[in-house]
Amino acid sequence: MKKVFLVLMIVMFWFKVSAQKDPTLALTPPMGWNSWNIYACDINEQLVREVADAMVKRGLKDAGYEYVVIDDCWHGERDSLGFITADPVKFPSGIKALADYVHSLGLKFGIYSDAGWTTCGGRPGSRGYEFQDAMKYAEWGVDYLKYDWCATDNLSAHGAYETMLHALAKTGRPILFSMCEWGQNKPWEWAKDIGHMWRTTGDIYDNFYGEWNHGTWSSWGILNILDMQDGLREFAGPGHWNDPDMMEVGNDLTVNESRAHFSMWCMIAAPLIAGTDIQHATNATIEILTNAEAIAINQDKLGIQGFKHSKTDSVEVWYKPLANEEWAVCFLNRDSISKTIDYNWVETLVVDDFSNRKTNFAKTAYSLRDVWTHTDLGNTKKPLKTKVPGHDVLMLHLKPIKE
């Protein structure tokens, strides 16, 4: 009996250890593209190939975007053994051929499934087939799995996502695990050792501020989603990120709104997953998505999520601690009309207990770099006097001046 008990303990220990998520992935917020926001179910292999080509040609790959993720509606039926297949009309060459093509461009390939019986689009979900699906993903060369939460009945979110983690770990392939249960079960409190990123809210939509009521659920505008991140920063960091959903940059937003949207996702260390038509996006949209100075703030190695420091009228001031004692500062104008900024640095004290960082501008001076105009704006010894257009930002990179 003792021997049997010992064997069981060893098996259970091995199973638990082998189910660890890959610790080498997502050390900075993941960057990539997802098909859902712009194409929904209207996807096919030729379209995905063309998007991957465009990511290379239009500079997104060089800017750091690496994952090409097909969302819902790629699924066909399960075969006689229960293994999932691709829709033969939309993906006649199969998923492996598509993944191989994406890899040939120096990019990584991502796919979508659901913890329930069906996906949100009514395709076969992974419930009861987690290990078979994970095996198939690894066989195809998948690098990223977005795992949704439709048709889950009374499943435990913790248990369902941990089951898929076990399945992914058993494949031996590094697969980034993107959890998408819309924040309903507060995954930030328990998912650090399960997923590399987890959705914190319901779906985003291309409106700067507003609610799109679908009856039993709602989609939310950019600022609504941003407001829902309050209180979550302590749960994020290298290898485990709060995910406020894919970006709507370039999708029925003004240039100002797209710039503000992108800036705030950078400030809160969010995964930068583009959801626009990369092939036909305007040059202005591409310039926003590929702004190296803004991306550097998002990808800062400390991995600390920014926070709202203060608010005057409609203008919020956000701070994000960066490596080398640097800071990012963003003035977000939530109003539709321009606002005047008169910010006296030397009267401002910034204290962040979470990161154990603070700065007194009266004692330490910093240089000011405008991330969007790529110009230097002097330093913090003098007040900052400028205007921020409606639904826009002034985003600055501050570096301490060595006396």
Q: Which residues are catalytic?
A: 148, 203
Burial of 16 (0-12, 13-18, 19+ CB in 10 A): exposed
What is the C-alpha to C-alpha distance for residues 403 and 400, in angstroms, rounded to an integer? 9
Residue 380 near residue 398, CB atoms below 8 Å:
yes
Q: What is the dihedral of CA 167, 169, 175, 176, to 10 degrees?
A: 90
CB atoms within 10 A of CB 340: 10
Please list the residues that pair with 352 across neighbouring strands: 357
DSSP calls for 374-400: TEEEEETTS-EEEEE-TT-EEEEEEEE
Amino acid making up residue 356: N
CA dist 197 and 190 (Å) reads 12
CB 310 within 8 A of CB 343: no
- At 274, is the secondary structure helix, strand, or coil? strand
d(CA 180, CA 200): 8
CA 163 to chain CA centroid, nearest Å: 22
